[in-house]
Amino acid sequence: MRAIDYFDKGAEAFPGRVAIIDRTTEYSYGQAREASRRIAKAMWAAGLRGEERVAIFSPNDGRVLLCMLGLMRAGGVWVPINYRNALDANVQFLNYSLTSWLLYHSSFQEQVRQIKSLVPALRHFVCIDAETDGDPSLESFMQQGEGTEEIDWGDARGNLERLAGLVPTGGTTGPAKGVMVTNLSWGTMTELAHQNLRCEGSEPICLSTAPLSHAAGVVAFAMFSLGATNVVLPAFDALEVLESIERFRVTHIFLPPTAYYALLAHPKVRDFNYASLRRLLIAAAPVSPDKFKKGIEVFGPCLCQSYGQTEAPMYMTFLDPPTVAAAAAGDHPERLRSCGKPTLAVRLAIMDDNGKLLPPLETGEIVARGALVGAGYYNFPEATAEMQAHGWHHTGDVGYRDDDGFFYIVDRQKDLIITGGFNVYCAEVEACVMELSQVRECAVIGVPDEKWGEAVKAIVVLRDGESLGEEAVIAHCKTRLGGVKSPKSVDFRLDIPKTPAGKTDKRTIRKPFWAGADRAVH
C-alpha cells in the first residue's frame, strides 16, 4: 500500500480517538485526516505533481506529523531535515535532492532566509506555526486549496516502487546520501511495527520525545496504524519524559540508548508510576546489557530492542519484552547483548569479505534481504551497487548469530581496532566499561601506538557526583575481557561528541589523536 493508506486505515477504525497532542494543540483522527486532505489539496493547487521533494525543517511539533500526512497524501516525497545539522550540510542535501518545497518552523527563520538564497530549486515555502517573511502559515496555506479536486494517484498494487521518502544517511564520512525509501519499504516497516508493537488490552499512547525528523517520526507514523495517540514533546528532557509517562499513561516510547541512559541516571527515576508501559523500544545503537537489566528493575518487563538503519528502516530484527525480561532474570543472560531475531519480512545472514555466508558463531558483516530494504542511494549508482553486492543488502555492521538464531552486533566495520595483530571490536569494550555503575557514557577508539600499532582508549563520562580512576576501569576490563581488549588508557570527560543524528561521533573523537598522520589506521 501507499504510506498514507496505513494512516487512513487507523483513521477509519478510530475516527474519534485523539491522534496527535502536544503542548498547544490536539487533533482527533478525523481532524488529522481532514487537515492532511486540506494540505494535499493546497499542494495540488500550487502545482505539486509526481514525486516532488517536500522538506520539513522544524523542532518537534504536532503539526510536523500533519505535514508528513499531507505531503504523503499529495504524493510528495518526505525529505526530513535535521535541525541540529550545520547550515551547509542541510543546504548541500537540499540541493542534491532537488527539493522544491520547504515546510519550516518560524524558530528557524534566519536559517531559512539563507537557505532561500542558496537552494535555487526551492520554490514553495510554508511556515508551520505563523506567517513569516511573506510565507503563509500552515493554516492559511490550507485555505488555498479550497475548491481543488482531490487527485487519486493510487494504483491497484499500492504504488510499491514509488518513493515515499528521500532520507539522508546519518554517517560522518562525507556528505549525506539520500536513501530512496519506497512505498514497499515504508509499508513493510509499518506492518512489522504493527506486528511487534501491538499490545492487546490497552489503548496505545505513544510518547515522541526524540526528533521527529529521525526514528521518532517513523515510529509515530507507524503507530497511527494501531490507532495510537501520539504525544509530542518539544525535545528530550529526562524529567519531563518520566513525568509524562505517568501523566498520559504512556504505553509506547522509542528512545536511543543515550536518552535511555539519561532516564536511568535521573535522581527521580523511581518517583513515578510506569505501570502503563508496554513497549519501551530502544534502537539506533546497541544497548549496554547492564543498563538493559537495570531498566527491567525500574520500568518493568516492557523493554525491547530493534535493529535497523535508514536503508532498511527500524525492524530488521526485534528483541521482544519477554525475552529481555527472561534474560535479565538469568535465563540466557547473553541475550541482553543481542539485537534479537530477524523479523518476518527480512532474511538476515552473516557474510565474509568474499561474499560467502558464514555459519553460526562466526563473525562477519550482517547482510539482509527482503521488502524492508530500500531502493538504494539517489544518484549514487556505484554506492548502491556496493551496498547490494552478492545479492544482499550490506549493513556495514559486524556481528554474528548464535545457534538459536539471535543476532549480535559486535561493531561497525570502520570501528575495528587492530592492536598487536588482534581484532578488537569497540562495542564489546564499551559494553564492559558501561557495567561500572559510576559510568554514564563510554566511547572506545583506537589511537596510534608505536608498539601495538593501535592502542585501545576509552573515553568515559561519569554520572553526576561519582568518581572513578583510570586504573579501576582498566582492571575491570582486564578481568572481564583480558589484556588485549582492555583499554591501555582512559580519558574522563564531561561529555562525548554526538553527530546531528544523536549518535556517538567517533570521527570527531579520533581526529586529534591522529593529527599529522597520513591515515587514521595503523
What CATH code is carried by the domain that includes residue 433? 3.30.300.30
| Of the residues 395, 412, 429, the one at which a domain ends | 412
Residues 266 and 397 in one domain: yes
Residues 257 and 398 in one domain: yes
| Phi/psi of residue 422, nearest 5 degrees | -105, 145
pLDDT at 252: 98
Is 520 within the bounds of a domain? no
> How many residues does the structure list for the chain?
522
Residues 253 and 392 in one domain: yes
CB 71 within 8 A of CB 43: yes
Tell me how far apart the alpha carbons of residues 35 and 15 are, in angstroms, rounded to a whole number.
13
Tell me how far apart the alpha carbons of residues 518 and 522 are, in angstroms, rounded to a whole number.
10
Amino acid at site 62: G
Tell me how far apart the alpha carbons of residues 139 and 151 are, in angstroms, rounded to a whole number.
21
Cα 379–382–386 angle (5° rounding)? 125
pLDDT at 519: 46
What DSSP state is assigned to residue 149?
P
Tell me how far apart the alpha carbons of residues 403 and 384 are, in angstroms, rounded to a whole number.
32
Q: How does strand 416-419 pair with strand 407-412?
A: unpaired
* Residue range of the domain that includes 339: 236-412
List Cα–Cα distances, 127 to 133, 153, 522, in angstroms: 9, 26, 50
CB 312 within 8 A of CB 346: yes
CB 50 within 8 A of CB 75: yes
Is 190 within the bounds of a domain? no
Residues 396 and 447 in one domain: no
Residues 404 and 437 in one domain: no
What DSSP state is assigned to residue 136?
P
pLDDT at 2: 95
pLDDT at 172: 43
| Of the residues 412, 431, 450, the one at which a domain ends | 412
> Quick one: how far is CA 326 from the chain centroid?
26
Tell me how far apart the alpha carbons of residues 199 and 181 are, in angstroms, rounded to a whole number.
27
Tell me how far apart the alpha carbons of residues 244 and 179 are, in angstroms, rounded to a whole number.
34
CA-CA-CA-CA torsion sign (283, 288, 289, 295): negative
> Quick one: how far is CA 152 from the chain centroid?
32
Is 209 within the bounds of a domain? no
Residues 408 and 426 in one domain: no
Structurally, the chain folds into a number of domains equal to 3
> Residue 187: CA atoms inside 13 Å, Cβ hemisphere, count?
19
Tell me how far apart the alpha carbons of residues 70 and 32 are, in angstroms, rounded to a whole number.
9
CB 342 within 8 A of CB 320: no
pLDDT at 423: 75
DSSP string spanning 161-189?
A: TSEEEEEE---SSSSPPEEEEEHHHHHHH
Residues 175 and 292 in one domain: no
| Phi/psi of residue 373, nearest 5 degrees | -70, 135
Which residue reads 547473553 in cell numbers?
334
Is 521 within the bounds of a domain? no
CATH code of the domain covering residue 160? 3.40.50.980
Tell me how far apart the alpha carbons of residues 427 and 16 are, in angstroms, rounded to a whole number.
46
Residues 169 and 253 in one domain: no
The H or E element that residue 230 is part of is strand 229-232
Query: What is the model's pTM?
Result: 0.86
E strand segments, 240-381: 252-255, 279-282, 303-309, 312-319, 341-342, 346-351, 364-370
All 3 cell numbers of residue 138?
500552515
pLDDT at 174: 55
Max Cα-Cα span within the chain: 75
In tens, the pLDDT along 66-96 reads 999 999 999 999 999 988 887 888 999 999 9
Q: Which residues of the chain have pLDDT under 70?
A: 170-174, 421, 517-522
pLDDT at 170: 57
Is 224 within the bounds of a domain? no
CATH code of the domain covering residue 368? 3.40.50.12780
Residues 403 and 432 in one domain: no
Residues 408 and 437 in one domain: no
Residues 64 and 31 in one domain: yes
Mutual angle of helices 215-224 and 183-197, in 10-degree steps: 70
CA-CA-CA-CA torsion sign (111, 117, 122, 125): positive
pLDDT at 202: 86
Residues 407 and 427 in one domain: no
Is 399 within the bounds of a domain? yes
Is 215 within the bounds of a domain? no
DSSP string spanning 256-287?
A: -HHHHHHHHHSTTTTSS--TT-SEEEE-SSPP
Is 116 within the bounds of a domain? yes
In tens, the pLDDT along 367-382 reads 999 999 999 999 999 9
